[in-house]
């Protein structure tokens, strides 16, 4: 949610006045510690693995859970594990999305290592993997080696400016077909992607994604999973620089006034809850195009691969000045979502397979980077 949406949500004037009164104070309330990893990337570390990792932790990942655990105890080696306390059991029961997030992480890591002339060889799931639930076995073991032949990847240039843009998009700006083609060409197998800016298709998909979003919000246990990850105001964000963060002077003032709380957000009788839905629908209903990534089978390696492809698309779109925002609700594998899951697969993967990522495209305001845990907190 942004400032404008929130003003609508709690009813303009009074709060605007309160916001102004608190303005001088609130302006000093940027969660700078939580944003420090964006400044540290590349500059705070000289050891090659740490330097590449300082970029990898900025990768997109579901609900910004950042479920990485990193073992650097062996020279030139990175062992990556999942923090099983950072999963999303209600909306991601088989950890499919969490695994995609690791794919994003690994691809950013590879791009950053290549920038410094390091090749990364990778063994995925060296001790096997459970296809239903991730466990304590390593996700990957990586070996770093200096290699003068390694090619720099031009997408490196966009890592620090990459965002998931959770804002309404400009309804008057169409997404050029050439940009859709460029997004699709960056992935490993073009057969696994699709994209559209066709107005009829966009209309159908707006309606499907809005319905899926509503279902997630109206299903108490799935909505609660999100609300429990709300971080409202500087103090909460600095303490837990992850999840769904609400920062900036207005949210900070509202938090101080006790107006915006997790309790209010989850109460379906409150006007905040209802207007919050309206605000979220402004995002789904302003999609100007879509892109998606499918896989024929749905193995852990397919999911890692989809993450690699998705973050490449996200970096390409950053270079294009095009906003991208994943909308995963209809892809989620819990029983209540079944109808929407089937509908989106019928529409976008009529020959079978799994849609791993689906995102809306358009032009929205960049609200800056999202918080991150510092790299050292992730090293075992």
Ligand X SMILES: Cc1cc2nc3c(=O)[nH]c(=O)nc-3n(C[C@H](O)[C@H](O)[C@H](O)COP(=O)(O)O)c2cc1C
CB of 181 to ligand X, least distance (A): 23
CB of 100 to ligand X, least distance (A): 4
CB 310 within 8 A of CB 104: yes
Place of tokens 């809850």: 273
CB of 174 to ligand X, least distance (A): 22
Instruction: Tell me which stretch binds ligand X (CB under 6 A): 11-19, 223-231, 293-301, 324-332.
Output: 324-332
CB of 74 to ligand X, least distance (A): 28
CB 70 within 8 A of CB 53: yes
Nearest of 277, 282, 287 to residue 214 by alpha carbon? 277
How far is 28 from 43, CA to CA, in rounded Å? 25
Residue 289 neighbours by CB under 8 Å, 6+ apart: 174, 175, 180, 195, 196, 197, 202, 360, 361, 362
Interaction between residue 168 and ligand X (CB under 6 A): no
The size of the interface with ligand X (CB under 6 A), counted in residues, is: 18
Residue selected from 10, 87, 90, 100 as contacting ligand X according to rule CB under 6 A: 100
- Give the CB-nearest residue to ligand X: 60
Residue selected from 19, 326, 362, 364 as contacting ligand X according to rule CB under 6 A: 326
Residue 378 neighbours by CB under 8 Å, 6+ apart: 53, 57, 66, 68, 69, 70
Interaction between residue 370 and ligand X (CB under 6 A): yes
Interaction between residue 97 and ligand X (CB under 6 A): yes
Question: At 185, which helix (H) or strand (E)?
Answer: helix 177-185
Interaction between residue 62 and ligand X (CB under 6 A): yes
Interaction between residue 104 and ligand X (CB under 6 A): yes
- Region class of 220: left (phi > 0), else alpha (psi between -120 and 50), else beta: alpha
Residue selected from 2, 54, 61, 226 as contacting ligand X according to rule CB under 6 A: 61
Residue selected from 78, 327, 355, 361 as contacting ligand X according to rule CB under 6 A: 327
Residue 148, CA distances (Å) to 114, 119, 145, 233, 305 in order:
10, 9, 10, 46, 26
How far is 34 from 361, CA to CA, in rounded Å? 27
CB of 195 to ligand X, least distance (A): 17
Coil, strand or helix: which one is 367?
Answer: coil
Instruction: Tell me which stretch binds ligand X (CB under 6 A): 1-9, 94-102, 179-187, 285-293.
Output: 94-102
CB of 307 to ligand X, least distance (A): 6
Footprint (CB under 6 A) of ligand X, residues 214-273: none
Residue 340, CA distances (Å) to 99, 196, 213, 354, 356 in order:
22, 19, 10, 13, 14
CB of 372 to ligand X, least distance (A): 8
How far is 156 from 335, CA to CA, in rounded Å? 39
Residue selected from 328, 334, 341, 360 as contacting ligand X according to rule CB under 6 A: 328
Per-position x/- string for 125-164, each x denoting binding to ligand X as judged by CB under 6 A, each - no binding: --------------------------------------xx
Instruction: Tell me which stretch binds ligand X (CB under 6 A): 6-14, 128-136, 260-268, 325-333.
Output: 325-333
CB of 190 to ligand X, least distance (A): 20
Nearer to ligand X, 62 or 276 (CB): 62
The DSSP 8-state label assigned to residue 128 in this structure reads -
Residue 183 neighbours by CB under 8 Å, 6+ apart: 193, 195, 291, 313, 316, 317, 320
The DSSP 8-state label assigned to residue 334 in this structure reads S
Instruction: Tell me which stretch binds ligand X (CB under 6 A): 62-70, 168-176, 231-239, 258-266.
Output: 62-70
Interaction between residue 109 and ligand X (CB under 6 A): no
Place of tokens 């400009």: 170
CB of 62 to ligand X, least distance (A): 4
Interacting residues with ligand X (CB under 6 A)? 60-64, 97, 100-101, 104, 163-164, 166, 325-329, 370
């Amino acid at each position: 949610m942004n400032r404008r949406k929130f003003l609508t949500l709690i009813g303009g004037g009074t709060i605007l006045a309160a916001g102004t009164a608190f303005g001088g104070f609130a302006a000093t309330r940027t969660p700078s510690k939580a944003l420090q990893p964006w400044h540290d990337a590349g500059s705070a570390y000289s050891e090659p693995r740490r330097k590449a990792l300082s970029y990898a932790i900025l990768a997109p990942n579901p609900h910004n859970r950042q479920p990485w655990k990193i073992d650097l105890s062996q020279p030139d080696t990175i062992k990556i594990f999942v923090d099983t306390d950072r999963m999303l059991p209600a909306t991601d029961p088989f950890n499919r999305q969490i695994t995609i997030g690791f794919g994003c992480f690994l691809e950013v890591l590879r791009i950053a290592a290549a920038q410094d002339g390091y090749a990364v060889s990778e063994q995925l799931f060296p001790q096997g993997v459970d296809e239903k639930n991730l466990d304590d076995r390593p996700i990957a073991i990586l070996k770093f080696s200096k290699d003068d032949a390694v090619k720099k990847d031009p997408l490196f240039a966009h890592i620090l400016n990459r965002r998931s843009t959770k804002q309404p998009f400009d309804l008057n700006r169409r997404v050029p077909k050439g940009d859709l083609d460029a997004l699709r060409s960056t992935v490993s197998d073009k057969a696994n992607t699709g994209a559209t800016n066709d107005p009829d298709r966009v209309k159908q998909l707006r309606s499907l994604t809005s319905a899926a979003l509503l279902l997630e919000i109206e299903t108490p246990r799935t909505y609660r999973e999100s609300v429990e990850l709300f971080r409202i105001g500087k103090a909460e964000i600095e303490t837990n620089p992850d999840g769904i963060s609400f920062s900036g002077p207005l949210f900070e003032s509202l938090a101080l006034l006790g107006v915006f709380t997790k309790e209010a957000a989850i109460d379906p009788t409150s006007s905040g809850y209802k207007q919050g839905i309206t605000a979220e629908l402004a995002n789904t209903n302003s999609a100007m195009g879509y892109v998606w990534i499918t896989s024929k089978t749905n193995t852990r390696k397919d999911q890692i691969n989809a993450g690699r492809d998705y973050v490449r698309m996200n970096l390409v779109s950053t270079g294009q000045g095009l906003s991208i925002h994943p909308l995963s609700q209809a892809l989620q594998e819990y029983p209540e979502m079944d109808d929407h899951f089937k509908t989106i697969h019928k529409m976008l993967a009529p020959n079978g397979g799994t849609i791993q990522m689906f995102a809306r495209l358009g032009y929205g305001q960049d609200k800056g980077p999202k918080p991150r845990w510092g790299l050292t907190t992730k090293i075992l």
